[in-house]
């Protein structure tokens, strides 16, 4: 138990669906992250939020839309995804941005049909 | 070529064996992280170090800044150590990850 909770753990969706991934942390951290993990590839940073402001967007397609309503919650809204978007999506948090220790959630495994 | 390289990619061991996983990097770093990912997907931070050596239970992590190299050692390995071990480096304000080493320990 790392203190970072992700839901759902598994999601199957069609290319025309709209769904959302949720991440929650009550560690008092100010930074939250979305990572994508595809088979045999390193973790890819998608988005970084610091104090609810997006500070980094690593050229992620607009079909992925993040939302950070407060410092404890982070969402990833999914719309018209492609099969190649199937992956494990990991949320993480840290006290601050800048390379400190990360606390990861269990991940949401997404399958796009 | 990845900025963070791990070796080996896959490793099998018999219970009780001493295990070493290596990580080399080619960028300037402020810290190096060792992470453990179990089959369910969740990732746990094992170590964050910027010099020398750290020990936690049966796990030992070392780093040589001059050689840009780190090792993760597991003493008296156990089947529950089976996981993917990921090396990551803090470079400016971001983390750069290796592709991981998949370890399987058999009884």
Give the per-residue pLDDT at B91: 82
| 8 Å CB contact of A2 and B44 | yes
CB < 8 Å to B44, chain A: 2, 104
Tell me: pLDDT of A35 over 80: yes
Give the per-residue pLDDT at A97: 80
Give the per-residue pLDDT at A66: 95
* Range B16-45 average pLDDT: 93
- Residue A42: closest C-alpha in chain B: B99
Residues A43-95 have pLDDT tens digits of: 999 999 988 888 777 789 999 999 999 989 999 999 999 999 999 999 999 98
Tell me: pLDDT of A34 over 70: yes
Across all residues in chain A, what is the average pLDDT? 91
Share of chain A above pLDDT 90, in %: 72
B19 vs A96, residue with greater confidence: B19
Return the structure tokens found at B91.
Answer: 């470079």
Return the structure tokens found at A40.
Answer: 């045999």
Token pair 């780190």 is at which residue?
B70
Mutation pick from A30, A42, A89 vs chain B, by most beta carbons of B within 10 Å, is A42
Give the per-residue pLDDT at A21: 97
- Shortest distance between the Cα of A4 and any Cα of chain B, in A, equals 10
A25 vs A53, residue with greater confidence: A25
Return the structure tokens found at B11.
Answer: 């490793």
Q: How many A×B Cβ pairs under 8 Å?
A: 60
Instruction: Classify residue B92 by burial, with Cβ atoms within 10 Å: 0-12, 13-18, 19+.
Output: exposed
Pairing of strands A87-94, B31-37: unpaired
Tell me: pLDDT of B47 over 70: yes
Residue A90 φ then ψ, to 5°: -110, 135
Tell me: pLDDT of A39 over 90: no
Return the structure tokens found at B102.
Answer: 């998949």
CB < 8 Å to B36, chain A: none
Residue A101 has its nearest CB partner, among B45, B92, B100, at B45
Give the per-residue pLDDT at A1: 65
Residue B42 has its nearest CB partner, among A97, A100, A107, at A107
B5 close to B98: Cβ distance less than 8 angstroms? yes
DSSP state of B80: G
Annotate chain A with three-state secondary structure. CCCEEEECCEEEECCCCEEEEEEEECCCCCEEEEEEECCCCCCEEEEEEECCEEEEECCCCCCEEEEEEECCEEEEEEECCCHHHCEEEEEEEECCCCCCCCEECCCEEEEEC
Give the per-residue pLDDT at B2: 83
CB < 8 Å to A50, chain B: none
Token pair 């979305």 is at which residue?
A34
| 8 Å CB contact of A90 and B4 | no
- Smallest CA-to-CA distance from A65 within B42, A74, A45 is with A74
Residue A101 has its nearest CB partner, among B41, B48, B91, at B48
Residue A63 φ then ψ, to 5°: -70, -10
- Residue B2: closest C-alpha in chain A: A42
What is the biggest distance separating any 2 CA atoms in chain B, rounded to whole angstroms?
42
Give the per-residue pLDDT at A47: 92
Pairing of strands B31-37, B43-49: antiparallel
């Amino acid at each position: 138990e790392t203190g970072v909770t992700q839901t759902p753990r598994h999601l199957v969706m069609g290319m025309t669906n709209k769904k959302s991934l949720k991440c929650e942390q009550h560690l008092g951290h100010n930074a939250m992250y979305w990572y994508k993990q595809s088979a045999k590839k390193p973790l890819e940073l998608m988005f970084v939020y610091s104090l609810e402001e997006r500070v980094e967007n690593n050229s992620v397609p607009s079909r992925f839309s993040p939302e950070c309503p407060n410092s404890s919650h982070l969402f990833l809204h999914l719309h018209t995804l492609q099969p190649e978007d199937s992956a494990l999506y990991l949320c993480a948090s840290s006290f601050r941005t800048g390379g400190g220790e990360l606390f990861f959630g269990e991940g949401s495994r997404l399958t796009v049909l | 070529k990845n900025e963070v390289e791990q070796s080996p990619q896959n490793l099998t061991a018999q219970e009780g064996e001493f295990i070493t996983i290596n990580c080399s990097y080619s960028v300037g770093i402020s810290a190096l992280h060792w992470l453990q990912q179990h089959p369910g997907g969740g990732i746990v931070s094992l170590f964050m170090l910027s010099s020398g050596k750290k020990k936690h239970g049966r796990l030992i992590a070392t780093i040589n800044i001059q050689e840009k190299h780190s090792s993760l050692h597991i003493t008296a390995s156990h089947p529950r150590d089976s996981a993917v071990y990921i090396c990551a480096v803090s470079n400016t304000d971001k983390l750069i990850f290796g592709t991981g080493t998949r370890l399987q320990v058999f009884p």
